[in-house]
Structure 1
Amino acid sequence: MPDALTGDAVHLGLDLGTQSARAVAVDGTGRLLAAASRPLTGRRDGVRHEQDPEQWWSALAAACREALAGIAPERIRGLAVDATSGTVLLADRRGRPLTPGLMYDDGRARAYTARVNRAGEDVWTALGYRAMQPTWALPKLLWLLDNTDFPDARLLHQADLITWRLAGRQVATDASHALKTGYHLVDERWPDGELARLGVPAGLLPDVVRPGTVLGTVCAGARDETGIPAGTPIVAGMTDGCAAQIGASALAPGAWNSVLGTTLVFKGVSPRLVRDPGGVVYCHRGPGGTWLPGGASSSGAGAVARRFPGADLDALTEAAAATGSTAVAYPLAGTAGERFPFRAPDATPFVLGEPHGDAEEFHALLLGVACVERLCFDYLDHIGAPVDGPLTLTGGGARNAYWCRLRADVLGRTVTLPEHAESATGMAVLAATASGATLREAAAAMVRTREELPPDPSRTARLTPVYLGFVDELTRRGLLDGAVAAHARRKAQQ
């Protein structure tokens, strides 16, 4: 094997999140050599959520320059980029943005969703998710086409803008980012007939390759802006949830990674395509013929940020842990309803119990996220996805030790915390495949475990009735299907 998995080799992972752009440099043994980030800002107006695509590039370029400042250029072997799933824009033939970036949770295209689902019903059913949601990329593309007048435009996913700038020319997108634009993952093609019926012009969509494919190399202009050596291979990446899954080495059938950031994102591994009658679980292609089922909730740490902006979260966590409160809040992070484990565009937050003071209210949000997480796994089990493998926790929420223990106790299962719990690390692992390593070899060599947290059986027993009360309230409000709730109760009795 080449030296991809030695300490001499350096692999770059570039991550575009909701709130920041991040670059990490990881050697072939998994040692984090450098990391840097720059903030991203957006505009929210009701269901709309936009960002300036030029800011993605300037922020990521600055993060790269900082991260690479002390690393010899000849050590760098490759890079890969992840971004938020379903974020799109229109650009001109030179790669200059013509529109803002419509973010992953932008809900302005709700009126287009029924049309998309009628035209593509057979394809979406074959791919297992049955129907697209309003926040997916294809409905947003139709909104852009109807509300702009750019006849020579090209659709770009968020990561595509970055790979274009890095290569100095347009390169293919990856199948992971293309999923929510309607790419046929089984046949590995765009569904041209269905897209034509929707009025999507020929030539608007990019070519598509599998993640891990070398797209090109870094050009001299990008070298000057980023500090990445010219000629560095650019590897096709994946969406942020899949990137975190790779960074957690959750690559064996039955393994799962739960990413707690602004929202909760779940990615697992199945030997077969998982088809969801409810249409809220979708599958990416995985390595070695596997499939990566998953879903993206609208609940998560964003609810904490909204309720406690600028707060000292360490102090709040310490105070919350001491309360022993079992009040629970439904922790929606935005205003566009829920996406997973059920679809409810009109869902709104609620609180069960009576939290007194900031500490108990904060704890109710932490507990609410854990309850949503358990319900997601019960739903996945209900539709036949394998959920009995190891579980890793990543994302910004995984840095809160008390929250991780609370999640393990609510779930009643052991959780593993990787040493570097972030999507950018996953992209560094994927970048290592450009030097000849397989993805599993790279993950085995580069992903390090920080800690394992077994559940406390007594706390699990005390919190299970709280979880079931949360399930009952969702059912009472008409948000959760009765069959799913019944399955959750049966699982709790086992």
Structure 2
Amino acid sequence: MWMGIDLGTQSVRAVVAGDRGEILGSGSAPLTGRRDGVRHEQRPADWWTAVCAATRQALRDCPAPRALAVCATSGTVLLADPAGRPLTPGVMYDDGRAVAEAARAKAPPSWALPKVMWLLTEYGGGAGTAVRVMHQADLVLARLAGTPLPTDSSHALKTGYDLERDDWPRRRFGKLGLPDGLFPDVVRPGTRIGEVGRAAAEETGIPAGTAIVAGMTDGCAAQLASGSLNVGSWNAVLGTTLVLKGVTSSPVEDPAGVVYNHRAPDGSWLPGGASGVGGGVLTAAFPAVDPIRMDALARPREPARVVAYPLVATGERFPFVAPEATGFLLGEPDSEAEHWLALLTGVGLVERLCFDYLDLLGAQNYGRLTLTGGAARSGYWSRLRADILGRPVYIPRYSEPALGMAILAAYGARPGTSLIRTAGAMVRLRHVLHPHPVRTAWYTEPYLTLVDELERRGWLPDRVAAHARIRTERS
């Protein structure tokens, strides 16, 4: 039995899976945060409270796991004391306050490194100050083990970790005024790093001595859960926001810094990016509707007359960087159903633009595309995305990042095993959706309209827009 824990934006999810991918136990607990303009924070204490609730629920009617791994939102950080006790709020991945620090660090504002610099200025810290950087998952791992543990290179990436040199860039950090000892030790995902302590066992229900395996970010966890781990395959995680992750034989070079590369536990590369569009815009626009009913009302209205750029909050990160970007509608919906359809379609159009950008960079993109995340539960939205993209999409039976961490726990706890074979045994497909050529043709004009508008507003670089048009003409 293997446990995976996923620290999401809105909830914590825990699952226990068997060697063949059967889900034997699951649990969840809600999370809330503070949003105010570009500010987005959560209380670290709430993460632990939710973990305890979710794991106890997952273990209520199933055997204890042999090992566990934890994933979390990418770019969420806090400062803690040497014992791992939090000194600041958790600054979330989409918090936009570190703009000046991002310019100094020459990093996207969504990355963790500018947030660390901002936290040190806001809450104090510098030479001789006993503070340490912790990622969201690190805080939970420290509570599980009873002492701070090494972080993994996946969570450390956006904090500035150099995956090719396998080290922190200490000279660069020195120029930025970041003190020695601020950053944790780093190991590759899938490394056994500790075990659950007695105090945590009493709170979580996880037996003391359960092995702790270094995890990955939520996007990478979803990649593992999708089973798409061969070179050229991709996974699209659509929840509150959209994350794309693929597998390539070498890092994808992107001078603009839009696409970044994680390192897989087996040494292959996982390039991808995180967009600000996603299902969160549906929650904001329609806080109290039945999604199934809205899908049914939207279906006969295809294609939508209104073109939407469905940004969840201010700022875009992929397929372009524009901290000032905001969502918009081109046209006025004549009903809630058409508004709903426009938002669903808009996410698919941005997803298509992401793949056009990846093609521009030369990313290997010829393999299977899987869809995971909460939106994959909507058969209609998945079919709509297949039509917009013009390619088949594969839907796993269980698609949550927590399963990806259970897969990683199984891999990490058994030295000598293959990650691809482990995932192949534990991932089960539900079905495959094929695009319809007529419907795919419907979305040519809306797609080009969105590309034109994003370029006109100065957010989408000219060369990216030009490549999107060229690929559209060829298709």
Specify if TM > 0.5. yes
What does 1:458-469 correspond to in 2, within 5 Å?
458-469=438-449
- Alignment-derived partner of residue 182 in structure 2: 204
- State the distance in 1 between where 2:45 and 2:265 align: 32
Point out where structure 2 has 5 or more consecutive residues left out of the alignment: none
- Alignment-derived partner of residue 218 in structure 2: 240
- Opposite residue 147 of structure 1, the aligned amino acid is E
Which stretch has the larger CA shift, 57-66 or 431-440? 431-440
In the TM superposition, residue 481 of structure 1 has moved relative to its aligned partner by 1.7
What does 1:285-364 correspond to in 2, within 5 Å?
285-326=263-304, 327-335=306-314, 337-364=315-342
In the TM superposition, residue 289 of structure 1 has moved relative to its aligned partner by 3.1
- Opposite residue 15 of structure 2, the aligned amino acid is V
- Alignment-derived partner of residue 55 in structure 2: 64
In the TM superposition, residue 407 of structure 1 has moved relative to its aligned partner by 0.1
- Opposite residue 134 of structure 1, the aligned amino acid is P
Secondary structure, counterpart of 1:289 in structure 2: coil
Percent sequence identity over matched residues?
58
| Alignment root-mean-square deviation, CA | 1.1
- Opposite residue 452 of structure 1, the aligned amino acid is V
Counterpart among 329, 339, 354 of residue 376 in structure 1: 354
In the TM superposition, residue 14 of structure 1 has moved relative to its aligned partner by 0.2
In the TM superposition, residue 372 of structure 1 has moved relative to its aligned partner by 0.2
8 Å Cα contact 1:267/1:293 also seen in 2: yes
8 Å Cα contact 1:212/1:236 also seen in 2: yes
- State the distance in 1 between where 2:442 and 2:181 align: 57
Q: String of CA shifts for 1:167-212, please: whole Å, max 9, x gaps.
A: 1111100000000110110010111111111111111110000000
8 Å Cα contact 1:89/1:101 also seen in 2: yes
Secondary structure, counterpart of 1:259 in structure 2: strand
- Alignment-derived partner of residue 136 in structure 1: 111
- State the distance in 1 between where 2:70 and 2:440 align: 38
Q: String of CA shifts for 1:426-459, please: whole Å, max 9, x gaps.
A: 0010000112432112101000001100101110
- Opposite residue 423 of structure 2, the aligned amino acid is A
8 Å Cα contact 1:64/1:226 also seen in 2: yes
Secondary structure, counterpart of 1:305 in structure 2: helix
Which stretch has the larger CA shift, 435-444 or 104-113? 435-444
- Alignment-derived partner of residue 124 in structure 1: none
- State the distance in 2 between where 1:431 and 1:405 align: 32
Secondary structure, counterpart of 1:435 in structure 2: coil
8 Å Cα contact 2:276/2:313 also seen in 1: yes
Counterpart among 60, 76, 81 of residue 87 in structure 1: 76
Which stretch has the larger CA shift, 319-328 or 262-271? 319-328
- State the distance in 2 between where 1:460 and 1:325 align: 10
Secondary structure, counterpart of 1:368 in structure 2: helix
8 Å Cα contact 1:325/1:360 also seen in 2: no
- Alignment-derived partner of residue 52 in structure 1: 43
Counterpart among 438, 447, 472 of residue 418 in structure 2: 438
- Alignment-derived partner of residue 195 in structure 2: 217
TM-score by length of 1: 0.93
**Structure 1 position 102 matched with structure 2 position 91:** yes
- Alignment-derived partner of residue 124 in structure 2: 149
TM-score by length of 2: 0.97
- State the distance in 2 between where 1:93 and 1:82 align: 22
- Alignment-derived partner of residue 261 in structure 1: 239
8 Å Cα contact 1:267/1:292 also seen in 2: yes
8 Å Cα contact 1:175/1:210 also seen in 2: yes
**Structure 1 position 159 matched with structure 2 position 159:** no
Secondary structure, counterpart of 2:137 in structure 1: helix
In the TM superposition, residue 277 of structure 1 has moved relative to its aligned partner by 2.2
- State the distance in 2 between where 1:251 and 1:324 align: 34
8 Å Cα contact 1:271/1:289 also seen in 2: no
- State the distance in 1 between where 2:389 and 2:174 align: 45
- Alignment-derived partner of residue 419 in structure 1: 397
8 Å Cα contact 2:53/2:204 also seen in 1: yes
Secondary structure, counterpart of 2:443 in structure 1: helix
- State the distance in 2 between where 1:227 and 1:43 align: 29
- Alignment-derived partner of residue 5 in structure 1: none
- Opposite residue 427 of structure 1, the aligned amino acid is M
In the TM superposition, residue 93 of structure 1 has moved relative to its aligned partner by 2.1
In the alignment of these two chains, the number of paired residues is 468
In the TM superposition, residue 267 of structure 1 has moved relative to its aligned partner by 0.4
Secondary structure, counterpart of 1:345 in structure 2: coil
In the TM superposition, residue 273 of structure 1 has moved relative to its aligned partner by 1.1
